[in-house]
Amino acid sequence: MKTASNNPENAIKKLEKQYVQQKLAVKAYGNKVARKYIQRINIIKQAKDFDELSGLPGLRCHPLKGDREGQYAIDLTGFYRLIFTLCWRITGNRTN
């Protein structure tokens, strides 16, 4: 699910649009991967912290190493995985 872009901000905007407009994700990645992508983003958004994410069965959430240190990965389908960075914000009593 690699997004081809020379500008990471453009890639992020594209992925955000694909999250909000499922039909764009389906067009880019196919129905199965698009469905899992949106589902996994929703799971990440609901998680309180990394420990909660890493404890969920089937995600295989794990920190990456080397030049991807500080990033995490979770399985989508088959050979696809979602690589992301956690940026927790504190709003009131809840961490987002």
For each of the domains in the chain, give its residue range(s) and CATH number, in order of start. Answer: 8-95 (3.30.2310.20)
User: What is the pLDDT, as a whole number, of residue 32?
Assistant: 94
Torsion of CA 29, 35, 40, 41, to 10 degrees: 80
Residue 74, pLDDT score: 94
CA pair distance 15, 24, nearest whole angstrom:
9
Measured between alpha carbons, how far is 91 from 82 in angstroms, rounded to an integer? Answer: 26
> What string of pLDDT tens digits covers the 96 residues of the chain?
554 446 778 888 999 999 999 999 999 999 999 999 999 999 988 988 888 888 988 888 999 999 999 999 999 988 899 998 877 655 544 444
The values of phi and psi at residue 74, to 5°, are -135, 150
Contact criterion met (CB below 8 Å) for 72 and 50:
yes
Predicted model pTM: 0.76
| Predicted local confidence at residue 20, as pLDDT | 94
